[in-house]
Amino acid sequence: MKLLFLGDVVGKVAREKVINSIPMLRDKLSLDIVIVNGENAAGGFGITSEICKQFFDSGIDVITGGNHSWDQSGIIEYIEKEPRLLRPLNHVKGTPGRGYYFYNTFDGKKILIINLIGQVFMKPIENPFLSVDDCLKSSNLGKTVDLIFVDFHAEATSEKMAMAQFLDGRVSAVIGSHQQIPTADSQILDKGTAYQTDAGMCGDYNSVIGMQKDVPINRFLGKISKDRFRPAGGDATICGVVIETSEETGLAKKITPLRLGGRLNEEWPT
């Protein structure tokens, strides 16, 4: 099977570019499933029900979240009703929404998508290693489920790589999000799990991780600023990864970065 994951969609220009590009990407890459991290899609902070509907209508199958999942009003009610919009699995018990979703393809294949959030340099939350370990007890890759994808939304590269090594051979792919810069370490680990530390953002890279430059620069300079962060509005680059898996085992056969448009050098799966 073939899966596309796009990293954090930041703001309107990125959102529109992703929505307009998904039909072409599905067709040219013969994709079985498209997963997008949407936690920055609404003005750089959170996501709304309207944006989710636009994403789903464009051909996106599942939306993952992160530390900004709850930033927009009304999303709590929507996430309770929409199982395709995920929040991190390792939130405390009783948190609205779901941390995983089973997606069934048109030809009867079963895909498990898991959304996790890290602990290092993030707000205190349940242990992601224990949470995902518990979640996988009822899902056996290659037997009860055909593909297992993990979006690990974390700050520390060491925590992301540790998670991938922890899950190597048990899931098809562990791909990092949140840092919003595409890393150059796409690989298949020893036991067959595809990994990349960060997929990168979908957004304007003439920015500070998707935001207009002045406010974050002034904050680093120690200047007091009443202005809030606003997404940059230039031409967006779409960033993500394409993963191909074995029909027999569910493990990864190939992982290729995807970059399209904007300032970054393009990369297209062959």
**Catalytic annotation, residues:** 68
- Determine the residue type at 65: G
Residue 195 and residue 112: Cα distance in Å, rounded?
Answer: 16
Residue 248 and residue 167: Cα distance in Å, rounded?
Answer: 19
Angle at CA of residue 169, ends 153 and 87, nearest 5°: 25
Residue 186 and residue 154: Cα distance in Å, rounded?
Answer: 17
Angle at CA of residue 241, ends 133 and 114, nearest 5°: 25
54: part of which helix (H) or strand (E)? helix 49-58
Residue 129 and residue 66: Cα distance in Å, rounded?
Answer: 16
Strand-pair partners of 11: none
CB atoms within 10 A of CB 229: 15
Closest to 210 measured CA to CA, from 14, 19, 17: 14
- Determine the residue type at 63: I
